[in-house]
């Protein structure tokens, strides 16, 4: 477009030179340019300043078009602000201090101002602001992820939590968990559980909550534990370590795990390696007494017996549903299955009977390579929710079976139990006492546990 304007300007210049001679003339030349097969050279004179005006008129529309295109680019707008890492400073306080609201435009000056304001808050050590888009195609709507690291006194990083569990299978276990938060400055959680009684355990564990595209949570540890196998009535001792990683999107989670253990049951034992993967959908808001919620878990793991050179694949399906019934009562149901692709070693075989599997039967009465559990419960709270605790009644029907590898589920023998119980939940502990009658054993058993089985 500029070349055409220049040629037009030169043509006008010739005309101007033919009729005007008074204004001073400036020689102008246009380099030879091929037109067809013949070069063309234009030489003449134009009034001073005429060429500058002509070129300016030719370039100005291009500049205006570029400016309009720049103005038409979508501006970034803040649609959401999320805070991470803060624990004593509330999100509301940080949002008010940052002085930013959804709907405001996002500029580099905005980010610098947010960081400057938050660093002025007492107790804030560092601030990191990340921009995230809601989709790959919509890049003008931005979610701000603001990581706030607080200054914490060293003594406040240490915590202590008592541990008390009670199950039919292991009896009473008691102890403590010592924990340290962000002691290394990596936003980690170090913990050292130590229990005695039914389960003797000592371990060192570490966990990280991450904001990464692939991983949300990483945990691992090493420890030693011992408990009694309720079927064989022999001590089960294990020494080993584990590593687990997961990614969560609201109610959906996927993860993988690896573990190594040196196991000894009675006088027999073996080293084993386990690798697995899982997928979970969990809509429960209240873990103690869920209602109007659904839980589903599917898992696979490969058990490698290093001494015998055998690999056994296992699959797990766990479905749970919770529905509000009359008044504040809840109907809860579970269907659970775990199957193995080979004969399991005795220390890995699931057992049936007791509060955690089939009420109305002696703990660990039956054993096999595969297990199926079915249960329905009616849970009736009889006291209003209060800080001191919640008391309620529980009526249930249990059914279950264990069967060896090579036996089909259709040939497995199911056993049933019915009963009722009472439960009590406080802030840190839940206690459940059930009386169950085994329809096959024709015996009445009392079961004690800490919390519901599902």
* DSSP string covering 278-311: EEEEE--S-SSS--SEEEEEEEEEEEEETTTTEE
- Which residues does 301 contact at the CB level (< 8 Å), separation at least 6? 257, 274, 275, 276, 277, 313, 314, 316
Q: Which of 135, 150, 165 is the last residue of a domain?
A: 150
pLDDT band, residue 74 (cuts 50/70/90): low
Least confident of 38-47, 55-64, 83-92, 309-318: 38-47
Please indicate, yes or no, whether residues 389 and 298 belong to a single structural domain of this protein: yes
Looking at every residue in the chain, the average pLDDT score rounds to: 83
Please indicate, yes or no, whether residues 125 and 228 belong to a single structural domain of this protein: no
Count of H-run helices and E-run strands, the chain: 4, 23
CA 268 remoteness from chain centre: 39
Q: What is the pLDDT of residue 49?
A: 52
Q: Which of 19, 41, 72 is the last residue of a domain?
A: 72
Q: What is the pLDDT of residue 286?
A: 84
Residue 186 forms part of a structural domain = no
Residue 330 forms part of a structural domain = yes
**445, 439 Cβ separation under 8 angstroms:** no
CATH number for position 133: 3.10.20.310
Please indicate, yes or no, whether residues 127 and 29 belong to a single structural domain of this protein: no
Owning domain of residue 89: 77-150
Please indicate, yes or no, whether residues 341 and 409 belong to a single structural domain of this protein: yes
pLDDT band, residue 21 (cuts 50/70/90): very low
Strand 77-84 vs strand 141-150: parallel, antiparallel, or unpaired? parallel
Please indicate, yes or no, whether residues 131 and 66 belong to a single structural domain of this protein: no
Please indicate, yes or no, whether residues 265 and 394 belong to a single structural domain of this protein: yes
Q: What is the pLDDT of residue 387?
A: 64
Q: What is the pLDDT of residue 136?
A: 65
% of the chain at pLDDT higher than 90? 49
Q: What is the pLDDT of residue 29?
A: 42
Highest mean pLDDT among 129-143, 281-295, 379-393: 281-295
Place of tokens 């990191």: 128
Joined tokens for residue 39: 């070069």
pTM of model > 0.75 = no
Residue 396 forms part of a structural domain = yes
How does pLDDT run across 112-160, given as a tens digit for each residue? 888 888 888 888 878 888 888 766 677 778 888 888 887 766 677 788 8
SS3 163: strand
Residue 183 forms part of a structural domain = no
Please indicate, yes or no, whether residues 309 and 430 belong to a single structural domain of this protein: yes
Tell me 411's DSSP state. Answer: G
How does pLDDT run across 181-207, given as a tens digit for each residue? 877 777 788 999 999 999 999 999 999
Least confident of 69-83, 194-208, 341-355: 69-83
Q: What is the pLDDT of residue 95?
A: 87
Joined tokens for residue 369: 């390579």
SS3 396: strand
Residue 200 forms part of a structural domain = no
Residue 304 forms part of a structural domain = yes
Please indicate, yes or no, whether residues 67 and 91 belong to a single structural domain of this protein: no
Residue 288 forms part of a structural domain = yes
Name the domain count of the chain. 3
**pLDDT value at 9 more than 50:** no
Please indicate, yes or no, whether residues 278 and 245 belong to a single structural domain of this protein: yes
Residue 173 forms part of a structural domain = no
Distance CA 43, CA 14 (A): 9
Closest CA to 226 of 217, 242, 239, 241: 239
**362, 438 Cβ separation under 8 angstroms:** no
Please indicate, yes or no, whether residues 221 and 92 belong to a single structural domain of this protein: no
Q: What is the pLDDT of residue 73?
A: 45
Closest CA to 9 of 23, 24, 26: 26
Measured CA to CA in angstroms, residue 404 lies from 83, 269, 351 at distances of 51, 21, 11
Please indicate, yes or no, whether residues 89 and 52 belong to a single structural domain of this protein: no
Q: Which of 55, 72, 89 is the last residue of a domain?
A: 72
CATH number for position 246: 2.40.160.50
Distance CA 224, CA 237 (A): 8
Place of tokens 């659904």: 294
Q: What is the pLDDT of residue 32?
A: 42
Please indicate, yes or no, whether residues 281 and 342 belong to a single structural domain of this protein: yes
Alpha-carbon Rg of the chain, whole angstroms? 37
To 10 degrees, what angle do helices 108-119 and 91-98 make?
Answer: 130
């Amino acid at each position: 477009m500029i070349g055409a304007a220049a040629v037009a300007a030169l043509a006008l210049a010739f005309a101007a030179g033919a009729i005007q001679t008074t204004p001073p003339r400036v020689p102008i030349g246009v380099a030879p340019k091929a037109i067809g097969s013949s070069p063309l050279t234009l030489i003449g004179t134009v009034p001073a300043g005429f060429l500058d005006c002509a070129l300016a008129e030719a370039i100005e529309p291009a500049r205006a078009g570029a400016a309009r295109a720049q103005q038409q680019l979508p501006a970034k707008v803040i649609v959401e602000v999320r805070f991470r890492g803060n624990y004593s400073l509330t999100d509301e306080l940080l949002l008010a201090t940052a002085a930013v609201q959804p709907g405001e435009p996002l500029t580099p000056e905005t980010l610098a101002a947010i960081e400057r304001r938050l660093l002025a808050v007492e107790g804030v050590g560092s601030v990191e602001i990340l921009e995230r888009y809601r989709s790959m195609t919509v890049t003008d709507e931005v979610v701000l992820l603001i990581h706030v690291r607080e200054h914490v006194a060293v003594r406040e990083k240490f915590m202590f939590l008592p541990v008390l569990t009670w199950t039919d299978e292991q009896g009473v276990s008691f102890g403590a968990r010592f924990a340290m938060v962000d002691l290394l400055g990596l936003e980690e959680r170090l913990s050292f559980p130590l229990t005695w009684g039914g389960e003797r355990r000592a371990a060192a564990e570490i966990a990280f909550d991450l904001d990464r595209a692939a991983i949300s949570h990483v945990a691992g540890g090493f420890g030693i534990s011992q408990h009694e196998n309720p079927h064989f009535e022999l001590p089960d001792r294990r020494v080993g370590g584990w590593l687990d990683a997961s990614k969560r999107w609201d109610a959906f989670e996927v993860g993988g795990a690896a573990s190594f253990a040196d196991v000894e049951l009675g006088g027999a034992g073996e080293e084993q390696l386990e690798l697995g993967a899982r997928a979970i959908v969990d809509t429960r808001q209240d873990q103690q007494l869920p209602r109007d919620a659904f839980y589903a878990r599917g898992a696979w793991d490969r058990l490698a017996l290093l001494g015998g050179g055998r690999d056994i694949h296992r699959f797990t399906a766990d479905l749970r549903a919770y529905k509000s019934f009359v008044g504040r009562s809840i109907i809860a149901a579970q269907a659970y299955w775990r199957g193995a692709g080979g004969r399991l070693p005795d220390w890995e075989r699931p057992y049936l009977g007791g509060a955690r599997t089939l009420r109305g039967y002696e703990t660990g009465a039956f054993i096999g390579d595969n297990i199926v559990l079915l249960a329905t419960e009616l849970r009736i709270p009889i006291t209003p929710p209060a800080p001191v605790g919640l008391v309620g009644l529980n009526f249930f029907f249990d059914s279950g079976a264990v069967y060896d590898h090579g036996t089909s589920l259709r040939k497995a023998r199911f056993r049933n139990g019915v009963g009722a119980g009472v439960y009590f939940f406080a802030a840190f502990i839940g206690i459940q006492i059930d009386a169950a009658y085994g329809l096959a054993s024709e015996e009445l058993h009392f079961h004690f546990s800490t919390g519901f089985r599902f």
